[in-house]
Amino acid sequence: MLRILTTENQTTVTEFILLGLSNDSCLQMPLFLVFLVIYLITLVGNMLVVLVIKADPHLHTPMYFLSNLSFLDIYYSSVTVPKMLENFLAERKMISLSGCIAQIVFFIFMFGTEIFLLSAMAYDQYASMCNSTTMSQHVSVQMVLGDWISGFLDSLVNTLYLTGLSFCGPHEINHFSCELLLLLQLSCTDTFAKEMLRSG
């Protein structure tokens, strides 16, 4: 049931409907099965990479970035896919406002961290190819820690203002997950400056 709070002059939406990939009820189960298989392959494949690197001490330093990238990919795919799978089977494809904001925060956190991590991996490759040196594990750990902190800060900068927005109009998100720009478009708070900052 859609929860809507009514104040004196306006109605506030506290839940959204995720329209998903298709409204065709015949496609819901096949889509569920396809995405479940893809999700499980992603989880198992990345867990195997992490476990193999963890099991062999010789791989700890040279594969440190790859291990973190696999670990990150597990969380990255787990931000949106479980809710999408749930919605394939649900009659009403609802997500709460707080759940929607949390999904956006974690998605941007994982996305930002991945970009910083890939940059660190590129620098590591450059250093090993051009200077014939490999990074020590201490430096690798510091770079990865910096990547995670930078991703978290990126997420905070891009989403902190979402908690101050109010939603009083349409409550349907034409996507399978919550997206920042789609949520901004549904807000009845003036978000022009925020949208310009985000797109610029």
pLDDT digits (tens, 9 = 90+) for 107-125: 999 999 999 999 988 888 8
pTM score, whole prediction: 0.80
Q: What is the number of alpha carbons within 13 Å of residue 93 lying toward its C-beta?
A: 25
* CA dihedral sign, ordered 179, 166, 13, 75: positive
d(CA 168, CA 122): 45
**All residues at 6 or more sequence positions from 176 whose CB lies less than 8 Å from its CB, including other chains:** 18, 19, 20, 21, 80, 84, 87
pLDDT digits (tens, 9 = 90+) for 13-53: 788 888 888 878 888 899 999 999 999 999 999 999 999 88
pLDDT averaged over every residue in the chain = 83
pLDDT at 4 over 50: no
* Residues 80, 128 contacting (CB under 8 angstroms): no
**All residues at 6 or more sequence positions from 65 whose CB lies less than 8 Å from its CB, including other chains:** 117, 120, 121, 124, 140, 144
Which residue do the tokens 């494949």 mark? 45
